[in-house]
Amino acid sequence: MKILAIDTATEACSVALMIDNKIDDIFEICPQQHSQKVLPMIDTLLKRHNIKLKELDVIAFGRGPGSFTGVRIATGIVQGLALGADLPVVEVSTLAAMAQQNYEEHGFTRTHALIDARMAEVYMGDFEVVNGVVVALQDEAVLSPTEALKKYATTSTSKGVTIGKVGTGWDAYPDELKQKEKEHEAESIKVLYPSAKFMLSIAMQSLESGDIKSVDDLSPTYLRDKVTWKKLPGKE
């Protein structure tokens, strides 16, 4: 199986390539430089492993939530690459990718993910690991920090399980979030940004379940209703 994964939804820009379960990736924090960085990163990985785009089985990408511009960049690039190479696409939540990293690198089987959404709001996700891959316990949402905490309180936690925290939202609104922090939540935040490398496990599961999309059916996630994605001409 050959999968290329791309993410530009936050301040981080990353690409990852999996060939027969061997993974190589490039990750860089580069605010406002994604459009200049991501294509050279992709080219570097493909050349490094002597593989052409058309030899891939699928392209995965971070569908959001995150920066409006960043999510649009990833969606547009994947749209172009997949169309040109006639490849299917897998969409991966950026919040889920961080939760997956929190599990694979730090062992957390439960994760509360918050990305700073600006405007005194956060993008919120609540995840649990099942058979090695994270699953959402409730719908992702854009909420105030205090509303996010109330949403977390609606899902139960097994005794003895420590909940890991990921994302920039926790540090962006420390007063609102620290006051109601639960005793079973981890104190330190080990993952700030999504990484394409940790989208691969989720993408593999999507492939196995048949959850793939054609290039004209991509649906990036902004969560704020006023933002929409324009599909390819003639595909509306």
Query: Do 17 and 82 belong together in one domain?
Result: yes
Q: Which pTM was predicted?
A: 0.91
| pLDDT tens figures, 89-133 | 999 999 999 999 999 999 999 999 999 999 999 999 999 999 999
pLDDT over threshold 80, residue 202: yes
Query: Last residue of some domain: 174, 191, 208?
Result: 191
Residue 232 — very low, low, confident or very high, per pLDDT cuts 50/70/90?
very low
User: Ranked by mean pLDDT, which of 176-180, 186-190, 194-198, 208-212 comes out on top?
Assistant: 194-198
pLDDT of residue 18: 98
Buried b (16+ CB within 10 A) or exposed e, 137-169: beebbbbbbeebbebbeeeeeeeeeebbbbbbb
- Whether residues 126 and 170 fall in one domain: yes
Taking residues 191-197, what's their average pLDDT? 98
Mean pLDDT of 32-50: 97
Count the domains in the chain: 2
Give the integer Cα–Cα distance in Å for 99 and 228: 26
Contact 94, 115 (CB under 8 A): yes
- Under the banding of pLDDT at 50, 70 and 90, the label for residue 157 is confident
Range of the domain at 24: 2-93+195-217
For β-strands 141-143 and 122-130, DSSP reports them as antiparallel
Confidence band for 219, pLDDT divided at 50, 70 and 90: confident
Q: What is the CATH number of the domain that holds 37?
A: 3.30.420.40
The chain-wide mean pLDDT, for the chain, equals 91
